[in-house]
Amino acid sequence: MVWQGKYDRLFIGGEWIAPQGSERIAVISPTTEEVIAEVPSGSRADIDHAVAAARRGFDKGPWPRLALEERRAVLRRLSVLFTERADDIAAQVTEEMGCPITLSKSMQSVGARLLIDAFVDMAPDYEWQTLRQSATGNGLVLRQPIGVVAAIIPWNAPLLTAMIKLAPALLSGCTVILKPAPESPLSAWLLAEMLSQAGLPEGVVNIVPADREVSEYLAMHPDVDKVTFTGSTAAGQHLGALCGQQIRRLTLELGGKSAAIITDDADFDHAVGCLRMNALRNSGQVCSNKTRILVSKRRQGEFLEALSAMMATMPVGDPRQAETQIGPMVSRRQRERVNGYIDKGRAEARLAWANPATLPERGWFVTPTIFADVGRKAVIAQEEIFGPVLAVIPYEDEDDAIAIANDSIYGLNGSVFTGDPERGVEIARRIQTGTVEINGNGVGFHAPIGGFKKSGIGREAGLEGFDAYVEIKSIGLPKDLATKYA
């Protein structure tokens, strides 16, 4: 089932209940510009209700008190449901936010399931309890669930982002209020169905779409113990300031302006083939996309020919069609924002290529664009555009390339393409970013991801992904009792 139409219930306490407010969210297709669904917009009273359900679930419910293996069993069942409903998930995300359907199947659907599987696989290896003995004492170190989590997720990868938060939170024993973006609430409705079918106890996950003001109310709610947020750096800065006033635990996964360094000995065909996904994934609407492409002045022209030829093979159009590789922007506002950056690029750099194809008459599409001879301080080199717009920046030598890559307020991701992978690793060590891929090789879901500088606080995925959802407690033991925990 793909959710469309009008809905009048919120998922709170394991049930579909009537909202206490009257506000509605209209879900608009970015492909047709038509309203495809309406869902309730949560009010402060609805947030109170959801937080109370999560609080009961944590303080009095069975979930935090189950053995880890029992929680893993529920997540395994959820993984099976993700497999069974893979096509529904992909179609749902494509309908609500415009991700090309072929990518939706791999990234939005399979990717979310693989995250669940990775966390289930890693959970027994996490140090939930360890004994540390020394001449100064015997410390039983516990990692216990942090409590009630407010998880605020973006529209560009709704279920993938949800699961990178929910899976470790749930395995740790936490309860959650999930706040999906107003642009993409329908996939969260589908998730609620699957969570119920997987056997999650009532109150463990509650789902309430809401506007920014009510989302802020959720983050500051006195019965919330932890906030995890993925979104823009500006919103993250505001949320961080609020959480700082409360000394509230916070994880931030924010924006990026990631650089791909192309060395002169790199295989250009391989590099541009990888950039098809590494720079333009989800029509450019991914924070880890490599949108600053650094190539030497000596070979910029040659590289631009290869990059332009590759982009010319990426059809723009209806994201529901399998052949489409670049779909619409998620909203009219986002289309206007991206077009504004294209106008700025025309004023401060050289337009190297713009897709000559006629854009669809309906839908929030933009023209895929490459700019060349981009200055390192140019607006299009410094600010996150979040669309299919690439800035090619020429460099003098390796040190210059690294300096340009690091000349950013962001530090989320990056790439090095080189004929000498060992040298690539040495370059990667010098790039100030949380993840670096050598010749297009990803780190996988067993490795942590996250940002330096204004790209965030904390890490997600990997064993480190559990750290955000636990509090560490040390208990001093008598020597004779310590042997029991050795």
Under DSSP, the state recorded for 359 is P
Provide the b/e sequence for 97-124 (b: ≥16 CB within 10 Å): bbbbbbbbbebbbbbbbbbbbbbbebbe
The pair of three-digit structure tokens given for residue 172, joined into one six-digit string: 């740790």
- Cβ contacts of residue 352 below 8 Å, gap of 6+? 304, 308, 370, 371, 372, 392
- Cβ contacts of residue 279 below 8 Å, gap of 6+? 260, 289, 290, 291, 293, 390
d(CA 145, CA 202): 18
d(CA 23, CA 218): 17
Q: Which of 287, 384, 437, 460 is catalytic?
A: 287
Under a CB-based contact definition with an 8 Å cutoff, are residues 66 and 175 in contact? no
d(CA 394, CA 373): 6
CA contacts within 13 A on the Cβ side of 387: 27
Q: Which of 253, 384, 437, 460 is catalytic?
A: 253
In one letter, which amino acid is 330? V
What is the CA angle 248-250-253, rounded to 5? 160
Provide the b/e sequence for 404-429 (b: ≥16 CB within 10 Å): bbbbbebbbbbbbbbeeeeebeebbe
d(CA 281, CA 412): 16
Catalytic residue list contains 287? yes
Query: Residue 313's CB: how many other CB atoms inside 10 A?
Result: 8
* Separation of CA 382 from chain center: 21
Q: Name the residues annotated as catalytic.
A: 253, 287
